Chain A
Amino acid sequence: MERAELFKISRRNVEWLKENYESLKREYDKLWIMIQDRKVVRSASTFDEIMKTVRKHDPNKILVEYITSEPIAMFF
């Protein structure tokens, strides 16, 4: 896949995540989600569980995120 296409797909998934973050927190609270083509394809409660689905997909076409509504302060 061309570089430009990889960036385009990634941007679409990240933009969709940002636009829908609040509703995702309500629907998929405390779950891992796999996003592809601007929709949630799979959710799972653990990373090992979501990886079973991730391994069947092209990693450049998906976005894997853990969603939580819990306000956790993160310091990095």
Chain B
Amino acid sequence: MVQAFKFKGLVIDRQPRISALFEVRAYKIRSMVNFLVDTGARASAITEKEATIMGIDCSSLPFFKYKSVGFGGFYRNRIINRQVILTFKSNKDFHQIKRSSFMVTCIPPKVSGEEREKLIRYIPNVLGMDILKEFKTCVTKNQVELIL
């Protein structure tokens, strides 16, 4: 019988989260990112907060060609137009997922300083169905498991 690879995360404050190593070799970036596991999101994205911590200047990134929608309305996100490698650690081994680009949810430039702070506080890094479709996703009260 073939045993499954299980990638485990934790539920913190009712949010299922999993950590992955986020690499952009073209930018020499290699950083651990804590993602919200969101089966309702079509696409994955890191936040402006995360990009800033990694040393990426969001204003230098090109805009994503499609609009994005949230409860705050429509946004124009930006995109890392370089190969991004996401590495997950399982009970047995590491598993890599490669993407030719990756979205960054950037705060619109025209919002006030106060509004900007609020948005940075609450917008999470999201692992959406573009990545989750490769796994069986199981969320319980205290734990999230991605199974391969």
Contacts and interface: CB of A to CB of B under 8 A. Distances in A.
Nearest to A32: B121
A76 B15 CA distance: 11
Interface of B: 10-13, 15, 17, 19, 21, 30-32, 34, 36, 38, 40-41, 49, 52-55, 70-71, 87, 89, 94, 117, 120-122, 124, 126
A66 B15 CA distance: 14
B21 A6 contact: yes
B70 A7 contact: no
A60 B31 contact: yes
Interface in A1-44: 3-4, 6-7, 9-11, 14-15, 17-18, 21, 32
A47 B49 contact: yes
Given A59-B54, A74-B122, 17 more contacts: A6-B21, A6-B32, A7-B21, A9-B32, A10-B19, A11-B19, A14-B12, A14-B17, A18-B10, A21-B12, A59-B32, A59-B53, A60-B30, A63-B34, A66-B122, A74-B15, A76-B41
B10 A15 contact: yes
B53 A64 contact: yes
Contacts of A63: 34
